[in-house]
Chain A
Amino acid sequence: MTPAAAIRSGRRTSHRKSAPKVAQSKLKIRDLRKTYGPVVALAGAGLDLSEGEFLTLLGPSGSGKTTMLMMIAGLTQPDSGEVWIDGKLATYAPAHRRDIGMVFQNYALFPHLTVFENIAFPLRMRRLPEADIAREVGRVLDVVRLPGVGDRLPRALSGGQQQRIALARCIVYRPSIVLMDEPLGALDKKLRDQMELEIKRLHQELGITVLYVTHDQEEAMIMSDRICLMNDARIEQIGSPADLYFRPLTVFAADFLGESNLFNALVEGETGAEIALRGPAGALIRVARDPERPAARGRPVKVMVRPEMLTLLADGALADNVLDARLTQVILVGGVTKYYARLADGTLVSATALTRGPVAGVTPDSPIRLGWSKASGVILAGAERPR
């Protein structure tokens, strides 16, 4: 079926040509690599994206997110590696034949065409009859909740409206994958929150497959089925938001998403389902064993505990792990209260608790006890990630 016919019949475009595929991934990337002179923009990345999934590339500036997206879209040529779209090799296929949709950061709406013509553009490229074009454009304008702006020029719309039109233009031809490069980057916070939900809604309603780019961790957590964390031209970790948050593999991952306490520790030994470590100031730390994280005896590691997993223990209360500390600061943030404390060896610790009325009884420099369960500690590989 031609793309045009697919759009007309309202069916999803498919490129299956040869070889029967079982639960094939929409997008498959293998060892994708790109350098600009001495700069390595992407150092051999691999990724699978399944139908209907929302995957976010998250990472600091310059970590290679845009580079990867551009190579998937066919707008940049990789040095090596492979890109498979819908089970078809497309590494060097020209952009216009990939059946991919892309939303650019500055929207890239054509300034000389009306909103209607902008959205009609991909359909015209697919040689759809005029009547179908009118119907489809009307349909997506409804979907993005902007009916009746078809006659306007893009610059006569607000930023948020332009963003919606860019989305509409991208989904109108039902591309196999929608790529979005920081589509909300230019919007203010309030509009961002609104558009995040909007995109999420479109994703669920239309069942589209989305590869999204952002460097805002909150945005990534809210929207994604899975997050692909990138750092320094590499993929650091791929997993669900919960995975990344609760079970980060590296110090970078633990640091990038949310706040964390990182304790230097030495592995002392295993007893059944738990690992014993020697932590800061000689404290004993117990962590539940995780088969994916082998911890050899005598190895220096870092143990991560999220601040909200630490509790201020009342006198006599018990916990799997207990640290003695001195309080340095208490900050009421609003819904939560943050406690900052110092261990005997100087290590800083922070704990977050829900605010339950004014804090009383804790004054700076008073001794406190912090406790956490062995299930909420995570052992991270070494101090530095192996390169």
Chain B
Amino acid sequence: MTGASGVPAEPMRPVLGELPHRPRPAWRRTWAMVPIALFLVALFLYPVAQLLWLSIFDKSGGLTGDHYQRLFLSPVYLQVLRITLEVAGWTTALCILGGYPIAYLLATASRRTRDSLILWVLLPFWTSFLVRTFAWIVLLGRNGALNSALQTIGLTEEPTAFLYNMTGVMVGMVHALMPIAVLTMLSVMENIDRNLVPAAATMGARGGEAFWRIYFPLSLPGVAAAGLLVFITAIGFFITPALLGAPQQTMIAQIIIQQVMEMLNYPFAGAIAMLLLVTAIAVFYLYDRALGMSTLAGEATTGQLGGGTRGLVGRVFAGIGTLLTAALGRVTDGIAILWEALAGGRVDRPPRASGRVPLRVAVVLLLIFLAGPSFIIVPVSFTTEGFIEWPPKGISLKWYWAMINDQQWTKAIFRSLIVGFFTACLAMALGGPAAFFLARRRFAGKTAALAFILSPLILPRIVIAVALFYFYARLGLVDTELGLVLGHTVLALPYVVITVMAVLKNYDQRLDQAAASLGASPPRVLWYITVPVIKSGLIAAFLFAFVTSFDELTIALFMSSGISTTLPKQMWDDAIMKVSPLLAAVSTVLLFFVTLVILTAEYFQRRAGAKR
């Protein structure tokens, strides 16, 4: 019906049947959430509930407190509990102390600086905990890089014991978890209006006062969220204390592993896992009471402790907080005034050094601490010797050859790739539609739905792993690829949902509306408009899911054994025997592979962000 001029001769009607005159039924509107909900209920909620059940009922079905009694009455376990809380507490404090300046600089820097610096946080965030822990063994060991450096300068004569004590554990833990702290605080700080501090300056506030009275209180929800995530992750941690600590630093997760793997005492392990879970939930509850859960997702914050309704306690704390920040502001400015007096401020010349120089120096040092150590394993992997030492002797590829020629390793690598790929596919299939739904619809209980989907990220992994282990034992899924894929998908889903939601937040929905008004049905809108536009974001989400699985050790620890292990599990088995140059070679390969994947993912994500 198109005329020769290309102009339609008569209006073209879309092919429509009868126009519906009823609202769509509820299931048609919520279908996107159904698969993910079913999946998480079956593979996350149910197993965890079952674990709880197991720990409080005995075989005959009667209520029993035996396991908990044993836990709380034995001095050994109490000691472990104490150490766990102590290590987690210190780790949290140090991660926030070190992470805050990084997040602050990133949040207040220009976009270009931010984009280049944030990679140095993202890389360690995604680098395997195992690889990073090995790096510390190489750095801090008796014959490690640090000791050899100290002895060369002549500061010490004997090797200092940095490892297999509290120092080693703390260094490893802080290093492992600081990226989480930085990224969490950053998400809150990025939502702080950049005009507020300049506004304070025009009203007569010096830098220090503007920071402590305005910026800092507004960033507090981020600090609290970071503290929460770090603390909860730390109490369930086992890699670092196992590899860098002595028996005195045994943490609670190690006891769980021991009970499952060596004692085969599942109910007791279940009880310990439950204790962890309850601790995590209790911490969450307190957090929610104090700040509200929405700050976790980096939503707009008011920085007001206690939200809108402040009780007496809230008022007291707010009062103390105000006094404290005012005092800190004055102290900081006192120092600044002193500095100005020494440096000499002039109004007719641009100031020479910016006040941010100390901050920049500190952040560069912290970033080196975060991203640097991993690379120490690279030279070590080329050694000709059969053990790890510093400096490494000779150059050879023999350990790489050893890896390639050892079927155990190649199979593990292959298996990890396969599991990672299918995990990513499944997570995208389940999480993608859910992310669309969550990003675009408003409905009652949205926050709760999001919290449920994100909870695997927030609960200690070891709890999920143990719960799945029981669940699988009944179904015969232990030691199967399918079991691994399902388990890893539980962990990868939060990343997929968050990433896709973030991309959709920048997506102009009028594009879809325009397409719909031009006659495209919803599936066609999705396929021809939405997906092509957010393609980069989807690829990024896929890659994040892949890496989550590829690097995963906790579930794999229980779920893959003997000849059918994943790469991280194989590395772990090797590492608890002996840290060898072969392991360094594997770690190097892993390090570069994951770095490549993450850089690719970042690239795609930025493209997605730039397009809007």
CB–CB A96/B218 < 8 A: no
Closest to B213 in A: A121
Check: A92 CB closer than 8 A to any chain B CB.
Answer: yes
Q: A98 vs B193: C-alpha distance in the bound complex, in angstroms?
A: 23
| Whole-angstrom distance between the Cβ of A246 and the nearest chain B Cβ | 36
What string of 1s and 0s marks CB contacts (under 8 Å) between A72-105 and chain B?
0111010000000000111111111111111010
Q: Which residues of B contact A97 (CB under 8 A)?
A: 204
Q: A373 vs B278: C-alpha distance in the bound complex, in angstroms?
A: 89
Check: A189 CB closer than 8 A to any chain B CB.
Answer: no
Given contacts A104-B195, A108-B195, A153-B302, contact A98 B202 (CB under 8 A): yes
Q: Which residues of B contact A104 (CB under 8 A)?
A: 195, 198-199
Check: A125 CB closer than 8 A to any chain B CB.
Answer: yes
Given contacts A91-B347, A92-B346, contact A155 B302 (CB under 8 A): yes
Q: A61 vs B27: C-alpha distance in the bound complex, in angstroms?
A: 49
What string of 1s and 0s marks CB contacts (under 8 Å) between B200-225 and chain A?
11111110011001100110000000
CB–CB B303/A95 < 8 A: no
Q: A89 vs B205: C-alpha distance in the bound complex, in angstroms?
A: 20
Check: B282 CB closer than 8 A to any chain A CB.
Answer: no
CB–CB A125/B209 < 8 A: yes
Q: Which residues of A contact B201 (CB under 8 A)?
A: 74-75, 94-96
CB–CB B195/A112 < 8 A: no
Q: Which residues of A contact B217 (CB under 8 A)?
A: 112
CB–CB B350/A92 < 8 A: yes
Given contacts A75-B198, A108-B193, contact A122 B347 (CB under 8 A): no
CB–CB A95/B198 < 8 A: yes
| Whole-angstrom distance between the Cβ of B144 and the nearest chain A Cβ | 46
Q: A96 vs B209: C-alpha distance in the bound complex, in angstroms?
A: 11
Closest to A85 in B: B347
Closest to A98 in B: B202
Q: Which of B195, B196, B206, B303 contacts A96 (CB 8 A)?
A: B206
Check: A14 CB closer than 8 A to any chain B CB.
Answer: no
CB–CB B195/A106 < 8 A: yes
Q: Which of A74, A173, A179 contacts B203 (CB 8 A)?
A: A173
Q: Which residues of A contact B346 (CB under 8 A)?
A: 92
Check: A126 CB closer than 8 A to any chain B CB.
Answer: yes
CB–CB B195/A101 < 8 A: no
| Whole-angstrom distance between the Cβ of A372 and the nearest chain B Cβ | 45
Closest to A90 in B: B347
Q: Which residues of A contact B347 (CB under 8 A)?
A: 88-93
Check: A169 CB closer than 8 A to any chain B CB.
Answer: yes
Check: B160 CB closer than 8 A to any chain A CB.
Answer: no
CB–CB A112/B203 < 8 A: no
Interface residues in A177-206 (C-beta closer than 8 Å to B): 179
CB–CB B205/A121 < 8 A: yes
Q: Which residues of B contact A179 (CB under 8 A)?
A: 202
Q: A155 vs B302: C-alpha distance in the bound complex, in angstroms?
A: 9
Q: A111 vs B198: C-alpha distance in the bound complex, in angstroms?
A: 15
CB–CB A102/B218 < 8 A: no
Q: Which residues of A contact B196 (CB under 8 A)?
A: 108, 110
Check: B349 CB closer than 8 A to any chain A CB.
Answer: yes
Q: Which residues of A contact B351 (CB under 8 A)?
A: 92
Q: Which of A89, A93, A102, A111 contacts B202 (CB 8 A)?
A: A102
Q: Which residues of A contact B348 (CB under 8 A)?
A: 89, 91-92
CB–CB A96/B350 < 8 A: no
Check: B561 CB closer than 8 A to any chain A CB.
Answer: no
Q: Which residues of A contact B349 (CB under 8 A)?
A: 92
Q: Which of A96, A101, A170 contacts B205 (CB 8 A)?
A: A96
Interface residues in A107-146 (C-beta closer than 8 Å to B): 108, 110-112, 121-122, 124-126
CB–CB B202/A100 < 8 A: yes
Given contacts A106-B193, A108-B195, contact A122 B350 (CB under 8 A): no
Check: A371 CB closer than 8 A to any chain B CB.
Answer: no
The tally of residues in A whose CB lies under 8 Å from a CB in B reads: 37
What string of 1s and 0s marks CB contacts (under 8 Å) between A39-81 and chain B?
0000000000000000000000000000000000111010000
CB–CB A73/B202 < 8 A: yes
Q: A89 vs B351: C-alpha distance in the bound complex, in angstroms?
A: 15
Check: A3 CB closer than 8 A to any chain B CB.
Answer: yes
CB–CB B302/A125 < 8 A: no
| Whole-angstrom distance between the Cβ of B108 and the nearest chain A Cβ | 14
| Whole-angstrom distance between the Cβ of A5 and the nearest chain B Cβ | 14
Interface residues in B226-240 (C-beta closer than 8 Å to A): none
Given contacts A112-B217, A125-B209, A155-B302, contact A95 B193 (CB under 8 A): no
Q: Which residues of A contact B200 (CB under 8 A)?
A: 110, 121, 125
CB–CB A111/B204 < 8 A: no
Given contacts A91-B347, A112-B217, A125-B205, contact A102 B302 (CB under 8 A): no
| Whole-angstrom distance between the Cβ of A338 and the nearest chain B Cβ | 33
Q: A126 vs B209: C-alpha distance in the bound complex, in angstroms?
A: 12
CB–CB B302/A95 < 8 A: no
Q: Which residues of B contact A74 (CB under 8 A)?
A: 201-202
Q: Which residues of B contact A112 (CB under 8 A)?
A: 214, 217-218, 302-304
Q: A108 vs B213: C-alpha distance in the bound complex, in angstroms?
A: 14
CB–CB A99/B193 < 8 A: no
Closest to A102 in B: B202
CB–CB B218/A111 < 8 A: yes
Q: A88 vs B195: C-alpha distance in the bound complex, in angstroms?
A: 26
| Residue of A97, A125, A155 with most partner-chain B CB within 10 A | A125
CB–CB A169/B203 < 8 A: yes
Q: A77 vs B304: C-alpha distance in the bound complex, in angstroms?
A: 34
Closest to A95 in B: B201
Q: Which residues of B contact A101 (CB under 8 A)?
A: 202-203
Q: Which residues of B contact A170 (CB under 8 A)?
A: 203
Q: A204 vs B165: C-alpha distance in the bound complex, in angstroms?
A: 73
| Residue of A91, A102, A110 with most partner-chain B CB within 10 A | A110
Q: A77 vs B200: C-alpha distance in the bound complex, in angstroms?
A: 17
| Residue of B195, B200, B210, B347 with most partner-chain A CB within 10 A | B347
| Whole-angstrom distance between the Cβ of B337 and the nearest chain A Cβ | 11
| Whole-angstrom distance between the Cβ of A75 and the nearest chain B Cβ | 5
| Whole-angstrom distance between the Cβ of B310 and the nearest chain A Cβ | 11
Q: A211 vs B303: C-alpha distance in the bound complex, in angstroms?
A: 33
Given contacts A111-B303, A153-B302, contact A126 B204 (CB under 8 A): yes
| Whole-angstrom distance between the Cβ of B333 and the nearest chain A Cβ | 10
Closest to B192 in A: A111
Q: Which residues of A contact B210 (CB under 8 A)?
A: 96
| Whole-angstrom distance between the Cβ of B345 and the nearest chain A Cβ | 8
CB–CB A95/B209 < 8 A: no
Given contacts A74-B201, A95-B201, A99-B204, contact A111 B195 (CB under 8 A): no
CB–CB A173/B193 < 8 A: no
CB–CB A108/B204 < 8 A: no
Q: A180 vs B209: C-alpha distance in the bound complex, in angstroms?
A: 23
CB–CB A96/B204 < 8 A: yes
Q: A112 vs B193: C-alpha distance in the bound complex, in angstroms?
A: 12
Q: Which of A88, A90, A108, A126 contacts B199 (CB 8 A)?
A: A108
| Whole-angstrom distance between the Cβ of B84 and the nearest chain A Cβ | 34
Q: Which residues of B contact A95 (CB under 8 A)?
A: 198, 201-202
CB–CB A125/B195 < 8 A: no
| Whole-angstrom distance between the Cβ of B588 and the nearest chain A Cβ | 40
Q: A124 vs B201: C-alpha distance in the bound complex, in angstroms?
A: 13
| Whole-angstrom distance between the Cβ of B351 and the nearest chain A Cβ | 6
CB–CB A122/B203 < 8 A: yes
| Whole-angstrom distance between the Cβ of B170 and the nearest chain A Cβ | 33
Q: Which residues of B contact A102 (CB under 8 A)?
A: 198-199, 202
With A95-B201, A110-B199, A112-B217 already in contact, 15 other A-B pairs whose C-beta atoms are closer than 8 Å? A74-B202, A75-B198, A75-B202, A92-B347, A92-B351, A94-B201, A99-B204, A101-B203, A110-B196, A110-B218, A111-B218, A112-B218, A125-B203, A153-B304, A169-B203
26 A-B pairs in the complex with CB atoms less than 8 angstroms apart: A73-B198, A73-B202, A74-B201, A74-B202, A77-B350, A91-B347, A92-B350, A92-B351, A94-B345, A96-B201, A97-B204, A101-B202, A104-B198, A104-B199, A108-B193, A108-B195, A110-B200, A111-B301, A111-B302, A112-B214, A112-B302, A112-B304, A121-B200, A122-B204, A125-B203, A170-B203
* 4 residue pairs, one from A and one from B, having the closest CB atoms: A122-B203, A112-B303, A108-B199, A95-B201
